Structure 1
Amino acid sequence: MNRSYFRKETVFLLSSGIIFLFIIAGVLQPDLLDAAASAIHSGILDNFSWLYLISAFFFLIFVISIALSKYGTIRLGYDAERPQYTFFGWVAMLFAAGMGIGLLFWGVSEPLVHFLTPPPFLEPLSPESAAFAMRYAFFHWGVHPWAIYTVVSLSIAYFSFRRGMPALISSCFYPVLGDRIYGMPGKVVDILAVFATVFGTATSLGFGALQIHSGLTHLYGISSAISVTIGIIVVATAFFMASAILGIEKGVQVLSKINILLAIVLLIFILLLGSTPYILNVFSSALGGYINNVIDLSLQAYPFAGYEWSRDWTVFYWAWWISWSPFVGLFIARISRGRTIREFVMTVLTVPTLFTFIWFSIFGGSALYLELNTGVDLASVAGEDVSLALFVFFEHYPFAGVLSLLAILLLSIFFVTSADSATVVLGSLTAGGNLAVPMYKKAIWGFSLSAVAIILLMTGGLDALQKMAITAAFPFMIVMIILCYTLWIGVSQEEERVSE
């Protein structure tokens, strides 16, 4: 291997090599890998839980501030450019990439688990814990995750489309690094982005595979062995690799539109056949509780009672979103060219969030209604197996089998779109920001994502997925804090100032 080739492919060779070593360690020494990951995870949580909370809140304040500032009318591209995709196609793609699998996995389970096992200062299975459960479901899936995505996507879109730089995380550091972004400092930034993307995406793919498996086992009595989950990942890998080959316009956009329509059909069905007034009251009350308490929720670590709860839930979620942010950020940036900063930020913060709130109100609210008003015991199911709760929930509605199959189809498509998008992004990250990614790189990253998900499931299941998300996110959180500074410097250097 000559020196010029290594210099050109440094990010790809180093990042793929380290991921390969991780996979080999998981195959040969799974216990050692799990022990090392647990130690790092514990160290981060013990010392830096507070930083995750403050950082997520800061990212939200930052993106709103830049959108409402005089720089909000700056277009992400040339001044005369207009968006490439329709508004619906744009929103469908960013939503499918950013949330899909997680909503299906946690939509019923998270409110029920909070209801069953709230922090120690609340009585379990009480109306107070139910209100707490819905408020925190809104919080964990509200504007904070999209603010995290926006920091990365807006930075990339601005420096790439407005300044004509490569679509890389390292390009966003030009105001502080200058031409060193093309040297080792910039490559280190991109390697950190690759690590966060691989482990963040693998976490979601693991969630999706676990829930597809639970649904198939519940419906058809398929074996619950881990080998079946691995088989699901292998089959899904074949599909998302085919989608990656088709390309973004023919692959992700079409699947995203299909999935958003299927999700709306599922929502309407549960809304109409459930207790509709109850669900709407849940939506109104949870939204009010969220808005009134958003600052307290953002910074509340419960150090005097409930600290473990906060670490297990809020810190995990913020880490998960951060680990997803390089992938989602690059993907959203690619599909957002031509939009203004203000339009971009306000749409990304509000439209997917509103849909998410409706989703949790309908699924989580309906589950709590069954629990509180009909005597149905769903909470214990969620407490025992979060991936199964959705399918047990469907049993209390007409056409339960059809609903379960529809959910499995949604999960499968979300799996494909998320993995497909991540494969393309990883390929671009390790190809100097080029959109024309060689097929061998797509293949390597596609198989790497699936292999990492399999290794994590085999070494510790759901717990291992959550640990790795937190661990992988930590260094990239530091990168994101600096990104805010570099983006502000970048827009403030615009030659043509935007009037107040």
Structure 2
Amino acid sequence: MHRPPADPIPHPALDHHVDEATPERGLDKVVFGVTAAVSLLFLVWGFLSTDSLATASGNALSWVMRDTGWLFVTTASAFVVFVIWLAASRFGNIPLGRDDEEPEFRTVSWVAMMFSAGMGIGLMFYGVSEPITHFATPPPGTGPENNPEATQHAMATTLFHWTLHPWAIYAVVGLAIAYGVYRKGRLQLISAAFEPLLGRRAHGAWGKVIDMLAIFATLFGSAASLGLGALQIQSGLEIVGGIGRVGNGVLVGIIAVLTAAFILSAVSGVARGIQWLSNINMVLAIALALFVFVLGPTVFILNLVPTSIGSYVGDLAMMSARTGAEGSETSTWLQSWTVFYWAWWISWTPFVGMFIARISRGRTVRQFVTGVLLVPSLVSLVWFCIFGGAAIDLQQSGTDIAGAGGIESQLFTTLESFPLSTVAGVVVMLLVAIFFVSGADAASIVMGTLSERGTQDPSRGTVIFWGVATGAVAAVMLLVGGQDALTGLQTITIVAALPFVVVMVGLAVSLVKDLRSDPMMVRRRYAEEAVEAAVIAGVTEHGDDFVIAVDRDPEA
């Protein structure tokens, strides 16, 4: 089929050339101005009247949990079903690029980069603390303390929070961005993915609102990660460094150092910054995991892997349906765990979605979903079985890991039972710092991209502004929590992520509209209609004695 030269509009069934989008240069004054102003107001409020901000955020959290907690729970599970349906459906063969385009990265490299994205600092913070907390204090509905199935339920709950659900959330945004940029030639903006749903309004006021919400989600999600990292490094200094209990001054100092480090990394360029740090961290993380696996309860850990998978599959329906309707105890537990996690993952979707979209050019929808769901899930499974398994084994042997201070200190307490515990503790602090720096510098670049009309190379000034804002917001979030700093991080993250849940639902609807009009789907419909018409004509004219033959047009 040839398109007439005079026809300015390509036929929807043709795989026509897609030009790379060239964004308008410069700062989007509306998007940046509004988000920067609101962020600064939040900081002023937090530093000048921490108590009133704590009260307001607590009231907001109560409303969110009472009236919209179900939304986080329902949408997270819906996204898992949604992306698996996309991969298994006829849409699974659609490439994220031209029809004949090969993947930009080899599969091994693609998997390796996937390993470093999304949740490195969380794995360090919760690798020991979540399994051991659920083991010592079983989640609602899973039995009393010290019940025989406590280990299985603890690992199942941990995997529920760290495997399919978070990566399905990331996959929705990653697919929408990758398809729009590489298949349609759109700008690298969250709002641009709404073109099928909003039309030209995606580039107007509605589009700016969407990009603002994406910036807010990324800002508070990154700040929460920085806060977790600061809490764990503070605990490491207290335990490994032997300096005793320290206050908020040291915590703010840690945040300042980490903030300066990731700003320097961000402005140094991706090749020298993110990639260099990611490579170092991957080696250190693997070495630490092997250290615990070999010197720890190796056989127990190996037994825990199939047990965890089976328990996760068996408890999945119950865990997915757990909501505040089960009572105040369950509602409080969800606030600290499941709903916080879903909000945290949602707040990281602009960054992680753009990252996995960037490395997935040329993959099909099916390959994308399979890789994004399975590879990080397997990494999380192995990580939690090693570190959680070592902690549970120590707890069962009489070493009180669960009661050893706050959850940020439990990894260090676990490592104290191993040889070279001081060296291992220093490695943990180094890993936490680099994991945060390698993720937060990319997040500040993403906020810069969203502030500058989708450019992949935002100005240093914009990147530095969002980097400093992230550190300052993390300090405010920790101060709001008071003695229990983690509560402040969880409270404000959940409240800030709520609007972006609605954005993600719209993004999923828009993606389906896009895929239905894809050239590959249009060709399929034409082919089905042509074959159906040919069969009807053949049966009408010849009965059963006819054959459909496909041959080359002699005039073509």
TM-score norm. by structure 2 comes to 0.86
- Count how many residue pairs are aligned between Structure 1 and Structure 2: 494
1:214 aligns with 2:238: no
Matching residue of 2:538: none
Residue 99 of structure 2, aligned match among 79, 83, 89 = 79
Partner of 2:296: 274
How far does the alpha carbon of each residue in 1:453-489 deviate from its partner, in whole angstroms, 9 at most, with x for none? 0111122121110011111111111111111110001
2 CA distance for matches of 1:80 and 1:408?
46
Aligned to 2:541: none
TM-fit CA distance, 1:182: 1.1
Instruction: Pick one of 79, 82, 105 that aligns with 1:59.
Output: 79
Shift of 1:87: 3.7
Change (3 A) 1:326 1:5: closer
Is 1:317 the counterpart of 2:341? The answer is yes
The 8 Å contact of residues 25 and 455 in structure 2, kept in 1 or not, is answered as no
- C-alpha contact 2:83 2:171 (8 A) present in aligned 1: yes
The whole-number CA distance in structure 1 between the counterparts of 2:320 and 2:420 is 40
The 3-state SS of whatever aligns with 1:483 is helix
Q: 2:376 aligns with which of 303, 327, 352?
A: 352
Question: 1:431-442 to 2 correspondence within 5 Å?
Answer: 431-442=452-463
Aligned to 2:70: 50
For each residue in 1:145-165, what CA deviation from the matched residue of structure 2 results, as whole angstroms up to 9, or x when unmatched?
A: 000011111111111121111
The aligned counterpart of 1:377 is 400
SS of 1:387's partner is: helix
Amino acid at match of 1:13: G
Q: Is the 8 A contact 1:93 1:253 kept in 2?
A: no
User: Which of 415, 418, 426 is matched with 1:405 structurally?
Assistant: 426
For residue 303 of structure 1, what is the aligned residue in structure 2? 325
Per-residue deviation, residues 371-392 of structure 1 (Å, max 9, x unmatched): 11x21111112xx401100001
Residues 390-399 or 245-254, more deviating: 245-254
Q: CA deviation at 1:6?
A: 11
**What is residue 517 of structure 2 aligned with on the other side?**
493
User: Using the alignment, how far apart are the partners of 1:406 and 1:257 within structure 2?
Assistant: 15
Residue 91 to residue 468, structure 1, CA distance change in 2 (3 Å): farther
**Could you tell me whether the CA contact under 8 Å between 1:149 and 1:329 is conserved in 2?**
yes
Give the counterpart of 2:411 among 378, 385, 390: 390
Deviation >4 Å, runs of 4+: 4-7
Indicate conservation of the 8 Å contact 2:343/2:494, yes or no: yes
Looking at structure 2, the residues matched to 52 and 93 of structure 1 have their Cα atoms a distance apart, in angstroms, of 28
Unaligned runs of 5+ in 1: none
C-alpha deviation, 1:7, in angstroms: 9.4
- Compared with structure 1, are the counterparts of its residues 116 and 287 closer, same or farther at alpha carbon in structure 2 (3 Å cutoff)? same
Distance (Å, rounded) in 1 between the aligned partners of 2:284 and 2:108: 14
**Residue matched to 2:203:** 182
Cα deviation, residue 278, structure 1: 0.8
SS at match of 1:454: helix
2:61 is equivalent to residue 38 of structure 1: no
Structure 2 gap segments, 5+ residues each = 1-23, 529-556
The alpha-carbon deviation at position 353 of structure 1 amounts to: 0.6
Q: How far apart are 1:304 and its partner, in Å?
A: 3.5
Match of 2:471 in 1: 450
| CA apart distance, 1:302 | 6.6
In structure 2, what is the equivalent of residue 16 of structure 1?
Answer: 36
Alpha-carbon distance between aligned partners in 2 of 1:358 and 1:24, rounded to the nearest angstrom: 43
The letter of the residue matching 1:289 is S
1:88, CA displacement in angstroms?
4.3
The separation in 2 between residues aligned to 1:86 and 1:248, in whole angstroms, is 20
Pairwise CA RMSD = 1.9
Q: Given the two structures, how large is their TM-score scaled by the length of structure 1? A: 0.95
Q: Tell me which residue corresponds to 1:476.
A: 500
**2:317, 2:443 → 1: CA distance?**
32
Correspondence for 2:275: 253
Show CA shifts across 1:33-57 (max 9, x none). Answer: 1111111111000111111111011
1:263 to 279, 285, 291: 285
Q: Label 1:87 to 1:9 Cα distance change in 2 as closer, same or farther (>3 A).
A: farther
* Deviation sequence 1:307-361 (CA, Å, 0-9, x none): 2323321111111111111221122222222222111111010011101011100
Letter in 1 for 2:150: S
Task: Pick one of 420, 424, 428 that aligns with 2:449.
Answer: 428
Letter in 2 for 1:189: I
Residue of structure 1 equivalent to 2:194: 173
Amino acid at match of 1:493: S
Question: Is this contact kept in 1: 2:132–2:391, CA < 8 A?
Answer: yes
Matched-pair contact (CA < 8 Å) for 2:66–2:324: no
Distance 1:395 1:337, change over 3 A: same
Change in CA separation of 1:24 and 1:6 when aligned onto 2, cut-off 3 Å: farther
Task: Name the SS of the counterpart of 1:77 in structure 2.
Answer: coil
Deviates more, 1:82-91 or 1:49-58: 82-91
Which stretch of the first structure deviates more once superposed, 286-295 or 402-411?
286-295
- What pairs up with 1:122-137 in 2 under 5 angstroms? 122-137=143-158
Letter in 2 for 1:316: F
- The worse-fitting range, judged by mean Cα deviation, of 113-122 and 99-108 is 113-122
The answer to whether the 8 Å contact 1:115/1:126 transfers is no
On the 8 A contact 2:26/2:452 being kept in 1, the answer is no
CA contact (8 A) 2:340 2:490 kept: yes
Q: Quick one: structure 1 residues 86 and 453, their matched pair in 2 at CA, closer, same or farther if it must change by over 3 Å?
A: farther
Aligned CA distance change for structure 1 residues 450 and 94 (closer, same or farther; 3 Å)? farther
Cα distance, 1:294 vs structure 2: 1.8
C-alpha separation in 1, matches of 2:203 and 2:129: 45
- Matched-pair contact (CA < 8 Å) for 1:159–1:165: yes
Tell me the CA shift for residue 84 of structure 1. Answer: 3.5
Instruction: State the partner residue of 1:293.
Output: 315
In structure 1, the partner of 2:12 is: none
Q: What secondary structure does 1:379 align onto?
A: coil
- Contact 2:31 2:211 (8 Å CA) reproduced: yes
Larger helix proportion of the pair: 1
Question: In structure 2, which of residues 220, 225, 243 is the aligned counterpart of residue 199 of structure 1?
Answer: 220
Moved more, 140-149 or 305-314: 305-314
Write the distance in 1 (CA, Å) between the matches of 2:300 and 2:102.
43
Shifted more, 338-347 versus 424-433: the winner is: 338-347
